[in-house]
Amino acid sequence: MFFPMFIILGVEMKISDLKIYNLSVPLIKEFKTSLRTVSSAEDTIVKIETDTGFFGLGEAPPTAEITGDINQGIQGLIINKIKPLLIGEDPENIDKLHYLIENSAVNNSSAKAAVDIALYDLFSKIHKAPLYKLLGGYQNMLTTDMTISVNSSAEMREDALQAVKAGYKNLKLKVGKGVEEDIERVKVVREAIGDQINIKIDANQGWQPKEAIYAIKEMEAEKLNIEFVEQPTAALDFEGLKFVRDNVLTPIMADESMFSPADCLRLLEMRACDLINIKLMKSGGIYNALKINAIAEAHGVEVMVGSMLEAKVSVTAAAHLAAAKKNITRCDLDAPSLLAEDPVTGGMKIDGPEIKLPSNPGLGITGVKNLKEIK
Ligand SMILES: [Mg+2]
């Protein structure tokens, strides 16, 4: 009865420590986009402890090609800048804590996300509710797509057929490596899997604006039935993205162009895209992701929640966010299915494309194996 007494008496809980760990998980198969090739997930795990025994877990992967963050940077910022600001603070003061985190440094969205996730895990454990319920509780089940790495059209065809056999009805094809080859890749996959499977494509900035318009129009003419095209052009070229959006019928989604709520507002005021992809590693965590979703919803724009190549702590946090909100209509959270092993106990339950949110408090994660503490 010691812990509840603390709360009943109104004694303020305090953050007492913040620890970081390395987590290494091999992939089943190399993950390839137009930006990078990865063969294992090498993530930072954060544990925030309190003087009452409650703790929260967070995670960040290094994605230098997208966020600019590497593990040493993530860990250095958390230990040297964020930790001293949080020690002694009340973990329930979400707004104040995020003000402290946001002002600890510019950029560094991955480090901020890892801490943000741990704080939300902690907050929802204190309130004895699964995180998705505290965030809105719209639903407790999600369906994710499966990502097909960019390879030869023959290899992508085989990978796509295998995903369909495993029950996936939504495929995300990575392209952006040569316009003509890309058109051929999508055509070959569409012919192999038939019309009943949903295809979206992600060029990861691999096309020039005019190339993108050419490629997308060809795919439209061939009736390849693409649900949407993700980030066809360079991240910082908002005008280029708008030029593409204005010249094709297929919806355009912003991914690498959109990190912050301010980015989202600018893109939507420009009408540069039709859809938004939130990733916690870009937004700096759930706190800003909620603002981005609200901005998108106010513009009548639906949101997808995606992830980098991450293990299941941070992807579970993304799933809680996705389940919480009605305006989040799409889910690209297949990363844990690309890992050769799962070091995480609890968290989201994955059965092929189906994701079920846990009903225990917080993220619902009870342990993470193979952690190496960084001193
Ligand atoms: Mg993307």
Q: How far is the CA of 308 from the centre of ligand 1 (A)?
A: 9
133: part of which helix (H) or strand (E)? helix 131-135
* 90 and 194 inside one domain: no
Q: How far is the CA of 291 from the centre of ligand 1 (A)?
A: 20
38: part of which helix (H) or strand (E)? strand 37-50
Q: How many helices (H) and strands (E) does the chain have?
A: 14, 17
Domain edge (last residue) among 105, 128, 151: 128
* 19 and 168 inside one domain: no
Print the domain residue range for 113.
2-128
- pLDDT tens sequence for the chain (375 residues): 455 545 555 678 999 999 999 999 999 999 988 888 989 999 999 999 999 999 999 999 999 999 999 999 999 999 999 999 999 999 999 999 999 999 999 999 999 999 999 999 999 999 999 999 999 999 999 999 999 999 999 999 999 999 999 999 999 999 999 999 999 999 999 999 999 999 999 999 999 999 999 999 999 999 999 999 999 999 999 999 999 999 999 999 999 999 999 999 999 999 999 999 999 999 999 999 999 999 999 999 999 999 999 999 999 999 999 999 999 999 999 999 999 999 999 999 999 999 999 999 999 999 999 999 998
CB atoms within 10 A of CB 100: 17
Cβ(363)–Cβ(57) under 8 Å?
yes
Domain edge (last residue) among 104, 128, 152: 128
* 272 and 182 inside one domain: yes
Residue 181, domain CATH: 3.20.20.120
Domain-embedded: residue 112:
yes
* 268 and 208 inside one domain: yes
Q: How far is the CA of 205 from the centre of ligand 1 (A)?
A: 9
* 160 and 225 inside one domain: yes
Q: Collapse the DSSP code of 22 into the 3-class scheme (helix H, G, I; strand E, B; otherwise coil) and give the result.
A: strand
Q: How far is the CA of 255 from the centre of ligand 1 (A)?
A: 5
CB atoms within 10 A of CB 120: 25
pLDDT at residue 9, as a whole number: 58
Domain-embedded: residue 374:
no
Domain edge (last residue) among 93, 111, 128: 128
Is residue 188 packed enough to be buried (19+ CB in 10 Å), middle (13-18) or exposed (0-12)? middle
pLDDT at residue 211, as a whole number: 98
Domain-embedded: residue 206:
yes
* 10 and 157 inside one domain: no
* 30 and 79 inside one domain: yes
Domain-embedded: residue 375:
no
> Catalytic residues, which ones?
174, 279
d(CA 313, CA 347): 7
Please name the residues in contact with 242: beta carbons below 8 A apart, sequence gap of 6 or more: 270, 271, 272, 273
Domain-embedded: residue 373:
no
Q: How far is the CA of 202 from the centre of ligand 1 (A)?
A: 6
pLDDT at residue 1, as a whole number: 45
* 124 and 137 inside one domain: no
Closest CA to 139 of 287, 321, 302: 321
Tally of domains in the chain: 2
Residue 103, domain CATH: 3.30.390.10
* 161 and 79 inside one domain: no
- Cα–Cα distances in angstroms (integers) from residue 9 to residues 15, 25, 26, 125, 291, in the given order: 18, 43, 47, 18, 33
4: part of which helix (H) or strand (E)? helix 2-8
* 120 and 190 inside one domain: no
* 212 and 276 inside one domain: yes
d(CA 209, CA 244): 6
d(CA 207, CA 138): 36
* 104 and 144 inside one domain: no
- Which residue type sits at 187? K
